[in-house]
């Protein structure tokens, strides 16, 4: 099984300058658990903000969703996988870096996301 077989194409992008509340609202509107954070400039890379980042880094610490910014709580750098990557190799990558998701990139463009939930569903 390959990344392209498991990935979800339901994802969206957000600016690192958005507030965490704006990120949470976009996640709720689009019914996703993460957003890809756009690079700030041509020398920057993508990041990711997950529901886990919001809970652990803002809510659990008593932070304010309106005063915390995406770039402050996002996970970066991202580890990308290609559509033909084997899911066991992806699982090892996620484990090694303590991540829950990896964007799938084809010809320099993000086309989907593979999560640990996607991998688990495959093995049920």
pLDDT in tens, 27-58: 999 999 999 999 998 899 999 999 999 999 99
Q: What's the pLDDT tens digit per position in 66-108? A: 999 999 999 998 899 999 999 999 999 999 999 999 999 999 9
Other Cβ atoms closer than 10 A to 36: 20
The per-residue pLDDT for 59 is 96
The per-residue pLDDT for 120 is 94
Answer whether residue 123 shows pLDDT above 90. Answer: no
Residues 31 and 8 sit within 8 Å (Cβ to Cβ): no
Q: What's the pLDDT tens digit per position in 65-75? A: 999 999 999 99
Answer whether residue 124 shows pLDDT above 90. Answer: no
The pTM of this model reads 0.90
């Amino acid at each position: 099984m390959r990344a392209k077989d498991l990935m979800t194409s339901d994802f969206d992008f957000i600016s690192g300058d958005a507030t965490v509340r704006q990120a949470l609202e976009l996640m709720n509107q689009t019914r996703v658990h993460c957003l890809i954070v756009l690079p700030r400039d041509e020398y920057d890379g993508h990041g990711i903000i997950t529901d886990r980042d919001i809970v652990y880094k803002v809510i659990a610490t008593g932070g304010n969703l309106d005063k915390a910014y995406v770039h402050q709580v996002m996970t970066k750098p991202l580890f990308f996988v290609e559509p033909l990557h084997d899911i066991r190799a992806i699982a090892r990558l996620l484990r090694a870096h303590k991540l829950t998701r990896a964007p799938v990139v084809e010809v320099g463009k993000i086309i989907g996301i593979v999560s640990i939930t996607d991998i688990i569903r495959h093995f049920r």
